[in-house]
Amino acid sequence: MRDGAEGGAVAAAMDLLIRYGEALGAERLCETRNVAGTMTQPSPAKAKLVEEGGWAKSFAVINLDCDDDIEIPRMKVPTCQLQHGFGKDASGLTSYPEQSIVLQGDAESYFSERGVNILATCTPYQVGNIPVRGEHCAWMESSAVVYCNSVLGARTNCEGGASTGAAGLTGRIPYWGNHLPENRFGTHHLAAGVPVDDFQEWGMLGYFVGDAVQEGRPVITGELVNPDLADLKHFGAATATAGGVEIYHIPGVTPEATSLEAAFGGAAVPETLVYGEAERRLVYETLNDQGESTDVDFILLGCPHASLDQLERVARRLEGRRIHSDTELWVMTPAAIRTMADRSGYTRAIERAGGRVLTDSCPAMSKAAPDGTRVMATDSAKQVHYLPAILGIEGWFGTLDECVDAAITGTWRGELSR
């Protein structure tokens, strides 16, 4: 493909993948039919390229690392767009520039004509892109990568905008890192000595694990109580926030760990690091160290993007109640789940209370919250880690109940249970 027989764009894509593979020290490329990347999100650099030579120029430079003027053909293998900037539904709600919304709409038309599925979410696995066990993928978005490897048992490295662009046009990605079976076994053993039994607890454990193992491959045992999709989505996102975890194992829950021994591939199980009361409290305090004022003006839910179950939980708590006049509540979710929430009555319940269900993005991705926000609160360990730093605001982390309470009263009253 590098010889140009399939056109300039495919040649540029293959050239980039070979440079990238060689730099990694990969022995070869492998085939993939599942790519999740980003092309449509506006940025100042991209806007300038689009002005110069349209979306073809933007894709060539940003997604293929190529300065030539080339035609961009249809993607060779199934490729989706992950979360990007705010869409039309957020128009006028923040100081996010209107021209970025227009630019992104333009990009969606261009790339969907080239075979890119506009899933517009950080959780493609919630809306139809569910890799099978062992499948070689080329995904970006750290929270999706860790879910893909760990919960689904598919194989992907934490790719970037350029490698996913090149993978979409070629169906190839370097066979390196998480693609090799021997690189998927555990490196650290952590045991929960306190019950990890709800969404908040899973997020806190994830933040602890990520900080403890950094780029490692943790295996977690202990008092882990029946995690659901939302729990593991939150847990993985937190591990990839406090550290760079791309794969973890929970014996009896995740598919590649039938037992503790299997999770380490038969190698000796390393010394156990314990997550106990003191560690749990320290994580809670770390996640809340960006909060001072209890006057909350923004509640953010749905990081990573909310599942339908989560929307139901929010709707049930807001039914018949009214959000404080100085407070905004947003729930971020994929557009496809928003449609289901509309039909199931959840959107109506949330909107009647004064909240909003928004799609495509999140405040951290778009660097925008409701105008005048000084203090935010969230049930997401990842969002409370990033958003206060990105926007220069205060942040609180708590349970969904505490977030809803703050939305209704305008006052943060969260505290660690037990």
Taking the least distance from each CB to other proteins, the nearer of 142 and 307 is 142
Question: Per rule CB under 8 A, is residue 161 in the interface with other proteins?
Answer: yes
The amino acid occupying position 353 is A
Question: Per rule CB under 8 A, is residue 363 in the interface with other proteins?
Answer: no
Stretch that binds other proteins, among 45-53, 88-96, 368-376, 409-417 (CB under 8 A): 45-53
Of 389, 411, 415, 417, the one binding other proteins (CB under 8 A) is: 389
Of 57, 80, 101, 141, the one binding other proteins (CB under 8 A) is: 141
Of 4, 27, 31, 48, the one binding other proteins (CB under 8 A) is: 48
Question: Per rule CB under 8 A, is residue 30 in the interface with other proteins?
Answer: no
Of 32, 111, 126, 159, the one binding other proteins (CB under 8 A) is: 159
Of 94, 100, 163, 383, the one binding other proteins (CB under 8 A) is: 163
Q: Pick out residues in 228-247 that bind other proteins (CB under 8 A).
A: 241, 243-244
CA angle centred on 268, ends 266 and 273, rounded to 5°: 125
**Based on the number of CB atoms within 10 Å of its own CB, is 28 exposed (0-12), middle (13-18) or buried (19 or more)?**
exposed
Q: Quick one: which H or E segment has residue 329?
A: strand 328-332
Of 10, 145, 220, 350, the one binding other proteins (CB under 8 A) is: 145
CB 219 within 8 A of CB 251: yes
- Distance, in Å, from the CA atom of 363 to the CA atom of 380, rounded to the nearest integer, reads 13
Locus of tokens 């806190």? 204
How many residues touch other proteins (CB under 8 A)?
39
User: For the chain, how are helix, strand and coil distributed in percent, rounded to 5?
Assistant: 45, 15, 40
Taking the least distance from each CB to other proteins, the nearer of 30 and 49 is 49
Q: Pick out residues in 281-320 that bind other proteins (CB under 8 A).
A: none
Question: Per rule CB under 8 A, is residue 19 in the interface with other proteins?
Answer: yes
Of 4, 27, 31, 45, the one binding other proteins (CB under 8 A) is: 45
CB atoms within 10 A of CB 195: 12
Q: How far is the CB of 77 from other proteins (least distance, A)?
A: 19
CA angle centred on 59, ends 140 and 179, rounded to 5°: 30
Per-residue DSSP letters for 130-186?
-PPTT-B-EE--HHHHHHHHHTS--B--B--HHHHHHHHHHSEEE--GGGSGGGSS-
CB 336 within 8 A of CB 307: no
Stretch that binds other proteins, among 111-119, 155-163, 218-226, 325-333 (CB under 8 A): 155-163
Question: Per rule CB under 8 A, is residue 379 in the interface with other proteins?
Answer: no
The amino acid occupying position 83 is Q
State whether residue 277 is helix, strand or coil.
helix
Taking the least distance from each CB to other proteins, the nearer of 7 and 177 is 177
Q: How far is the CB of 376 from other proteins (least distance, A)?
A: 15
Select from 185, 183, 194 the least CA-distant residue to 249: 185
Q: How far is the CB of 335 from other proteins (least distance, A)?
A: 21
Of 110, 147, 175, 176, the one binding other proteins (CB under 8 A) is: 176
Of 13, 90, 362, 364, the one binding other proteins (CB under 8 A) is: 364
Question: Per rule CB under 8 A, is residue 109 in the interface with other proteins?
Answer: no
Select from 167, 108, 139, 326 the least CA-distant residue to 240: 139
Stretch that binds other proteins, among 107-115, 135-143, 199-207, 329-337 (CB under 8 A): 135-143
Q: How far is the CB of 23 from other proteins (least distance, A)?
A: 4
Cα distances from 272 to residues 194, 254, 382, in angstroms, run 15, 19, 25
CB 242 within 8 A of CB 384: no
Chain residues that interact with other proteins, rule: CB under 8 A: 16, 19-20, 22-25, 38, 43-45, 48-49, 61-62, 65, 140-142, 145, 157-163, 174, 176-177, 214-215, 241, 243-244, 364, 386, 389-390
